[in-house]
Amino acid sequence: MTPDHFDRSIFDIIDNRCAALEDALESDVMFYHGSIYPQYFRSFRDFVEDVKGSSSRDENRISVVLRTGGGSAETTERMVGVLRKHYEEVNFVVPDIAMSAGTILCMSGDKIYMDYASTLGPIDPQVPTPDTGDYVPALGYLDKVREITKKGQLAPADVVMLKSLDLAKLALFEQARDLSVDLLKKWLVEYKFKNWTTHSTNNPGSPVTAHQKAERAEQVARDLADHKRWRSHGRSLDIKKLEELRIKIDDYSDTENLRDAIRSYNDPLTGFVDRMRIDFFMHNRHIPH
């Protein structure tokens, strides 16, 4: 069997597993692997349009199986706009990892599906620098500047670093941080908390007000952006840590049928993109590969 025939056979199986996962989640299903950068946005927009246009389902719901190391908060906002234009309900499934801007994207969902081995991460959007255009993590730089400027006396290495960071860069980093927090606050209230109507812990059974939803969303956003708390841009935020932040996660660890349906779809796809060293890849069973 030639490599092309081998890959075709793999995707015949994956397409069938995608159909099974659609039935399990009662939604359209698409797979997204790669960074969240502006150059991928048009492909994402067209792909979502094609998924919606080729679907025969009537739930008006999509589940995005997401695997990303993060990217741009601005691109994340545009992607959410596309998903919400075409679907009333948007859910995210994270079998492996969705970091930084991927975490921001997940917080725009009505539901987030994870198991015990899944992870999100602290939010730290990547920003293109004015001089080179290279993407760098914003909060890491701001935290370092804050740490250095609090010192009573600067070491020579500190002076060199501060000189390398001009005001334009710092402004970009601050804007990215503030945008990330604002997006989380807006999306949590609008989507994740929309069915949160009564308290389950403090004063159980009492109604939840719009102000209380906004306060909770503000706290979640600040916690996820608190690098002093997490100590690492790449820190794993598993279900237990997320629930400590009072973020509701749909845990499928012990739901055997759903767990098997998600893994049997996700694992061959991630194996394929890793084997082929593909930076960006999307899949839906109706879209030609």
pLDDT, tens digit, for every residue of 111-126? 999 999 999 998 876 6
Q: Which residues pair with 128 in a beta bridge?
A: 135
Domains, the chain, ranges and CATH? 3-283 (3.90.226.10)
Predicted confidence band at 252 (pLDDT cuts at 50, 70, 90)?
very high
Tell me what the mean pLDDT of segment 239-253 comes to: 94
pTM: 0.85
pLDDT, tens digit, for every residue of 172-218? 677 777 888 899 999 999 999 988 888 777 777 788 889 999 999 99
> Which of 61, 79, 66 shows the shortest CA–CA distance to 24?
61
